[in-house]
Amino acid sequence: MSEVPLDGAMDASAQQLGKALDRARMGEDRDLAARVREAGERFVRQLFGCLRMVRLHDLENAAFERPLTEVCQSLGELNELLGAVHLVVVEGQAYVNDVRVRLDERQDTGPALGRELARHDLGGLSFHEVPDLAGMRVFIAAFASEPDPDRPRLALRDKLRAGGMDRLDLVGAFRFRVTGEENTVRGAKDEERSRDRAATLVDASVDSLGQDRMPNPLPLRRAVTELLEGSGGTEALTDEPAHSTPYSRHVLRVSVLALLIGRELGLSDEALQDLGVSAMFHDVGYAAREGAVSAAPGRAAEPGYAPPFERHAAAGARLLLRQRGFHESKILRALATLHHTWRFDDPRGRPSLFGRILHVCEGYEALVQLSPERVSPPRALASLQAEAGGRYDPICVQALINALGLYPPGTQLRLSDGRVVEAFAVPKRPEDWAAPVCRVLRGADGRRESSGQVVDLSIDPAEIVAVLEPRARGGAGAG
């Protein structure tokens, strides 16, 4: 050991550990954790009990009334706390919405439940709403039935749908992923899945926070980790993830841009992760509802209105601060969300770093995507640069310029040989900064190319002769 602690250092070490534990305790939401644990444990036991019981008794037997009612109640309790309830069993361990459920291992409940699920080629269940007694009966009956030997999961789904249980998702088997394992993200297809997952998580977080639930950053943190481990999700700048909404696509693009800036600034992995999660949440204020009208007796309350642009950042911070327990990441997120619309030279004080980064990303995104007067990515970068030092943090702007290259993904270019191409990747090396990798949109003869032909301008002899502005896109590169 290179450092030799003296007696005093050992004393300091003890104090350091004590403080770390104090901090960790501050981050706890004991109440919520206890309730999820308790209800989750009960739910899993009751569900497992029902699945075993159905082998001994007919489902119509009155003896089933009580256990079914109880499992519905436990599920209802979880739904109240968490919204959708995701039960996953992996390697004999059960998780409810990522929280591990303590089960009595002597009774083998976890592995046995895993085996029950595996009969139908399942690893998880997702309850989007709490079924009534009849629905739960349908579920148990379908589960207890003999699995289809060829397509067990789909057959089970059909049975459930036939019984009216269409608010229940069946998910395939899970496995633990090991740090540094090969093919953690397995190629383009998996990157696409990661982006898809991230986009739907963004929408899910809006759903959840919009219904006054607590923020749950852990799934988004995992999504960010996936993006970081892959190519950084830069394809999201040009491709649209499946099942995404315009909002989630915007958030995902901003997140990718923010991570690009963060990497360019040399932020640590930990900081990048926090930055990515902050970006995923940055516009969540639009999920808030302001000005709700109190319910008159016997009438439902008016739902209220989403905050306007001017107040959405503050509204987002308010939503994020609902998360109980102190954590550095929570502070960084809330600050980023609150400050992401502030100018660099804001009279209220300089915004936080994440806020400044997100402000630059939003500016770029507004110019390239949102504005009716959309401009090409290079022009967007030039506009940001023109306002660096006042509206935007100059270092963050330059970091974005460095990371995206002179022709950022989405830039359409006319080449000297007549081809029209679109940049789709960020430069991997500094020397490629002005020589993007592109897809061919039109051949030299002006015909549309749909073969997905790729041209690397760092080696291709053709030169860039023009950047096509978006309003000319309608002419498919004819501008």
Farthest CA pair distance, the chain: 80
Residue 429 touching other proteins (CB under 8 A): no
Q: How far apart are CA 80 and CA 89, in angstroms?
A: 22
Q: Which of 266, 298, 452, 474 binds other proteins (CB under 8 A)?
A: 266
Q: How far apart are CA 313 and CA 306, in angstroms?
A: 12
Residue 148 touching other proteins (CB under 8 A): no
197, two tokens: 């997952």
Q: How far apart are CA 229 and CA 238, in angstroms?
A: 19
Residue 332 touching other proteins (CB under 8 A): yes
Q: Which of 247, 458, 460, 466 binds other proteins (CB under 8 A)?
A: 247
234, two tokens: 């830069």
Contact 316, 285 (CB under 8 A): yes
Q: Which of 63, 295, 386, 465 binds other proteins (CB under 8 A)?
A: 386
Q: How many CB atoms lie within 10 A of CB 70?
A: 17
Residue 263 touching other proteins (CB under 8 A): no
Binding mask 446-465 for other proteins (x = CB under 8 A): --------------------
Instruction: Please give the size of the binding site for other proteins, defined by CB under 8 A.
Output: 165
**Binders in 160-219 for other proteins, by CB under 8 A:** 167, 169-180, 193, 196-197, 200-201, 203-204, 206-207, 209-211, 216-219
68, two tokens: 């079914």
The helix-helix angle for 217-229 and 246-264 (nearest 10°) equals: 60
Residue 136 touching other proteins (CB under 8 A): no
Q: Which of 430, 452, 461, 474 binds other proteins (CB under 8 A)?
A: 430
Q: How far apart are CA 236 and CA 454, in angstroms?
A: 18
Closest CA to 116 of 50, 183, 59: 50
Residue 53 CB, shortest distance to other proteins, in Å, is 26
**Binders in 279-298 for other proteins, by CB under 8 A:** 283, 286-287, 290-291
Residue 473 CB, shortest distance to other proteins, in Å, is 17
Residue 115 touching other proteins (CB under 8 A): no
Q: Which is nearer to other proteins, 306 or 476 (CB)?
A: 306
**Which among 138-146, 357-365, 443-451, 453-461 is the span making contact with other proteins, rule CB under 8 A?**
357-365
Q: Which is nearer to other proteins, 33 or 444 (CB)?
A: 33
Q: Which of 51, 260, 279, 335 binds other proteins (CB under 8 A)?
A: 335
Tokens 């939503």 correspond to 319
153, two tokens: 């999961």
User: How far, in whole angstroms, is CA 333 from its chain's centroid?
Assistant: 14
Residue type, 100: R
